[in-house]
Homo-oligomer: A and B are copies of this chain.
Amino acid sequence: MTSQRRVIVQVLADSDDHPAAEDVYRRASRIEGRISLATVYRTIRLLEEAGILEKHDFGDGRARYEEIKRTHHDHLIDVDTGEVIEFVNEEIESLQEAVARELGYRLTGHRHELYGTRIHKPEQD
């Protein structure tokens, strides 16, 4: 357990957004100067393989990460702002299982992202 790893893990734990490797590097650098992007990538990979981190791709060309929390959720991405909103829908979850089963598969994972634009609500402005 080196200081670099400690800092990276801390940064990820403190983030409630979905930072890319570069973001993690930037945030970690503020705390611990002696750190390199390569180490961030290596540590992120370790954490991912250990099942601690989840990798996402929201379509902007780089991987985004978040800690696996107790509650599973999917994401809605605001196409105008890039904001990421988490959602849970048990009905969709079980339908997915059913679809896979019908096709002769056991589900090992899934990726579900919604992309949308905010509905303008005049009374909220």
- A residues in contact (CB < 8 Å) with B: 57, 59, 76, 78-79, 85, 87, 89, 91-92, 95-96, 99-101, 103-119, 121
Q: State whether A100 and B79 are in contact (beta carbons under 8 Å apart), knowing that A106-B119, A107-B115, A108-B115 are contacts in the complex.
A: no
Given contacts A57-B57, A103-B85, A105-B76, contact A96 B114 (CB under 8 A): yes
Known contacts A76-B99, A87-B99, A119 near B104 by CB under 8 Å: yes
State the Cβ distance, A72 to closest chain B Cβ, in Å: 14
In the bound complex, CA of A57 to CA of B61 (Å): 10
B-chain residues with CB within 8 Å of residue A116 when the two chains form the complex: 100, 105-109
Is the beta-carbon distance between A91 and B100 smaller than 8 angstroms? Answer: no
11 A-B pairs, CB-CB below 8 angstroms? Answer: A59-B111, A76-B105, A78-B105, A79-B108, A96-B114, A104-B119, A106-B119, A108-B115, A109-B114, A109-B115, A111-B115
18 extra interchain contacts, Cβ-Cβ under 8 A, other than A96-B114, A99-B114, A100-B116? Answer: A57-B59, A78-B105, A79-B109, A87-B99, A87-B103, A89-B95, A91-B95, A92-B92, A95-B95, A100-B114, A104-B119, A105-B116, A105-B119, A107-B114, A107-B115, A109-B116, A110-B112, A110-B115
